[in-house]
A = this chain, B = another copy of it.
Amino acid sequence: MSDAPLLDHLYTVGSLENVHGGFRFQVKNRLFDATLVAVDRLVVDGDDVDVACVVLELGDAEIPAAGLHDGGIPFPLRCVVGVRVAGRALPDGAHHVVIAFRSEPFGALELEVRDNVAIPRTARDGIPRDLDDDYSAEIIERRHRYLEAFSGHSLEHLDQYSFDPHLAQGNVESFIGVAQVPIGLAGPLRVRGEHADGEFLIPLATAEGTLVASYNRGMKVINESGGAICTVVDDCMQRAPVFIFESAREARDFKGWLDEHFTEIAAAAEATTSIGKLLYVDTYLAAKFAFLRFNFSTGDAAGQNMVGRATFAACSWILEQVDTVRRFYLESNFATDKKASQVNIMRTRGKRVVAEVTIPRRVLTSIMRVEPETLFHHSGVANVGSFLAGVNNNGLHSPNGITAMFIATGQDVANVAESSAAVVYVDLLPDQSLYLSITIPSLIVATYGGGTSLATQRECLELLDCYGRGKVNKLAEIIAGVVLAGEISLASAISSLDWVSSHEQYGRNR
């Protein structure tokens, strides 16, 4: 779900090696289901290779590249095709291979590989790996020995875990064990959402003393106030390519063209995914650049990879239609993945979720020992502090609760960067109760995919009845409720302190 893997899925690499007196490399389809219609050309280090010498390896089958023409062969997503060239081994060192082929629906495609002929892996002095099964007990054990030898420390805890490491395949490479992050239990918390409606016990994974206790106090206030009203108000995930033109004028005209072709662009994007839907594309113009921000709905997955693939497909289609593009990058820093940004605050990334509560005066004074007026006053002062400091969050500490829940439930924790943004609004009502709401404009959560199916992570999701399909809005609502509890608790603590201090001040003359 991170930026790093995203691009690799789109990336077509060849592992060049000498075999059987010739050589071979691989082509992997990381985009979407296609049909390989013909191999048109193969060039090695500038020399054309006769296509007749080329054999395609497909699992068990082998097909001469020259004999493809009757309808082609399926080339599904994630399929790896080996390309073997007979009768010619390559010398050591770097080589340049170009392969031109045709596929449906992509048409002509030319891929280039610059690679060194692989040196046998065993010769390298690095982290031990097993190309066949890198999650077996044996290879993990070998890595432990390597690590112990390298560092001079013996492992006592890292290698303790309760699941089959193969479960972590797709989540981590060079697996050596787990971090054991303590989980405390808070709640129950009463949530009145559209998807989460009831009481929930909240697992918080943290090492910060009193965090659990503090959130727990806030939950008590919420419960006594009738629960947290939680609402997902928007939902979209982005990838933001940039198209570069000769001049600003062409970039502007491109924007006009885009608006006219949204339907086709959406079709190209959605061909790569059964779940993602392209909602809209924002175009931002500056200099001779057109920055496009593709906005998708992604179901119960966080969807960063899904939208990366879909955006790439859409861009490929666009690039086939538009002559004027000089250059293109799939990402322009406008996504803005793993970043706090004004665009996320304004226009949503992931879930935009609001938690609200109206706290009766007596609940606040009896449980938190603070008067709503003080808390309200502090909020006004803190807004000035926030404005001067230039923060992404005029509230107090929403990332504390978000991070603890992200770790517990297998989210991509690095998304705390964008999920840390928040808008707090407090109002003192005529009956002296306190309306308090927090809006999290870019909460990135999943109940499916990524780390959600790992052992303890899935278990925590299940405890919340939030594992799997159709649950992501429920999880978002619960997290928002938890965050609200934390705001109440800390705001009360800060506001009470004011009172303590005043007393100390006024006391000094006695």
Q: Which of A152-208 contact B (CB under 8 A)?
A: 153, 155-158, 160-163, 168, 170-188, 194, 201, 203-208
**Whole-angstrom distance between the Cβ of A115 and the nearest chain B Cβ:** 8
Q: Name A's interface SS.
A: mixed
Q: Are B178 and A183 in contact (CB under 8 A)?
A: yes
Q: For chain A, give the interface size range.
A: 35 or more
Q: Are B456 and A507 in contact (CB under 8 A)?
A: no
State the CA gap A267–B430 with chains docked (Å): 38
User: Quick one: CB contact mask for A371-383 with B, threshold 8 Å, 1 for yes?
Assistant: 0000001101111
Report if A389 contacts B (CB, 8 A): yes
Of the candidate stretches A42-50, A77-85, A394-402, the one touching chain B is A394-402
Contact of A423 among B186, B387, B394, B421 (CB under 8 A): B387
Q: Are B381 and A454 in contact (CB under 8 A)?
A: no
State the CA gap A157–B210 with chains docked (Å): 24
A2 and chain B: residue at smallest CB distance: B208
Q: Are B414 and A417 in contact (CB under 8 A)?
A: no
**Whole-angstrom distance between the Cβ of A207 and the nearest chain B Cβ:** 3
Report if A137 contacts B (CB, 8 A): no
Q: Are B168 and A182 in contact (CB under 8 A)?
A: yes
Question: What chain B residues lie within 8 Å of A494 (beta carbons)?
Answer: 7, 329-331
User: Quick one: CB contact mask for A211-245 with B, threshold 8 Å, 1 for yes?
Assistant: 11111100000000000010101100000101010
Q: Are B329 and A498 in contact (CB under 8 A)?
A: yes
22 chain-A/chain-B pairs, Cβ below 8 angstroms: A4-B486, A7-B493, A12-B500, A111-B500, A114-B369, A157-B456, A171-B206, A172-B183, A172-B184, A173-B210, A178-B456, A208-B414, A208-B451, A231-B249, A284-B388, A286-B423, A287-B425, A332-B381, A346-B346, A346-B388, A383-B383, A402-B414
